[in-house]
Amino acid sequence: MTPMVVAVVLGSALLHAVWNALAHTSKDRLTAITLIAAAAGLCCAVALPFLPMPNRVVWPYIALSTALEVLYSFGLVLAYKLGEFGRMYPIARGTSPVLVALVATFVVGQRMSGLEALGIAVVSAGLLALALSNGLPTRADLPAVLAAVGTGCAIASYTVVDGVAVRKAGTVLGYSCWVFLTEAIVILGVTAALRRRAFLSSLRVDTARGLGGGVISLTAYTLVLWAQTRGTLAGVATLRETSILIGAAIGALVLKEGFGRLRLAASAGVVLGILLIAH
């Protein structure tokens, strides 16, 4: 993987952690996710007339990716409602790399080098250690953990779908904008159905935070899609999840959730894995 691709994915990871922290710290997380989707969708609606249309072959992928992104968004709301950011974020994001690596290798047929495979294993172990740094989940934690793991499965699924599709689309920006636009329409519809008469008034809560998060989210994922046209699905997906390091730092420094020795050691392991993947 070239240094440029590594740098782009790590930049995306930083942006991704920031918008997730914005969503978690919002007074109303459902509204936050809805505003994030709406802002990204609005940007895409403005840009699409000036972008080439994706190739016809990827429209089923766009539909499937939209469904998976919606599941991911509402799964994230549930996980953040049930558990703390510093633990739920690593579990949700840390589940994905191993699943993506397995599917990319044995289903998509993308080969990886020995160093890349070792790096993915080291990063995944570090991410798991971050998720468990406060001890094993208790029975009371189980609903939150299940929500986070389910969210991670959705992440892995749309990562593979988008990674395959964007190579066929003929346009990274066109593909990204259609996915974000359709996702915004569905999320707005679902939230409107859930909130009913309170829908419009609920959007006035933390509006600036949500809209800003939408622009960041769109930028972060479009960078990942570009990287997926230059690197392997497993490598890009694993590097992207280094956003967990940033998320853990935000949880400790901003949200005061703690950052002990185990998290420091796990973070060092993740950095080592990044170097192996980028070798």
| pLDDT tens figures, 21-71 | 766 666 777 888 888 899 999 999 999 999 999 999 999 999 999 999 999
Of residues 187 and 152, the one with the higher pLDDT is 187
Tokens (6 digits) for 160: 């593979």
- Helix (H, G, I), strand (E, B), or coil: what is residue 37? helix
Side chain identity at residue 116, one-letter code: E
Segments making up each domain of the chain, as ranges: 3-277
Closest CA to 248 of 141, 149, 127, 159: 127
What pLDDT was estimated at residue 176?
A: 95
User: Looking at residue 255, what is its pLDDT?
Assistant: 61
pLDDT of residue 50: 94
Instruction: Share the mean pLDDT of the chain.
Output: 81
Average pLDDT over residues 195-204: 79
Calpha distance 74→92 (Å, rounded): 12
SS3 content of the chain, % helix, strand, coil (to 5): 85, 0, 15
Contact predicate 31/202, CB 8 Å:
yes
- How wide is the angle at C-alpha 145 spanned by C-alphas 31 and 128, nearest 5°? 115
Helical residues (DSSP H) of 142-242, grouped into ranges: 142-169, 172-195, 199-202, 207-228, 233-240
What pLDDT sits at residue 91?
Answer: 75
229, two tokens: 């046209």
Percent of the chain at pLDDT exceeding 90:
27
| Amino acid 68: pLDDT | 95
User: 90-145: per-residue pLDDT in tens?
Assistant: 777 777 777 787 787 777 777 777 777 787 788 778 777 766 766 676 777 788 88
Dist. CA 49–CA 223, nearest whole Å? 20
Q: Is the pLDDT of residue 168 over 90?
A: yes
Burial group, residue 171, by CB count within 10 angstroms (0-12, 13-18, 19+): middle
Q: Which two three-digit tokens encode residue 36? A: 């994030």
Q: What is the pLDDT of residue 45?
A: 96
Which tokens sit at 177? 């904008």
User: Token pair for residue 211?
Assistant: 């809209």
What local confidence, expressed as pLDDT, does residue 25 receive?
A: 66
pLDDT at 266 over 80: no
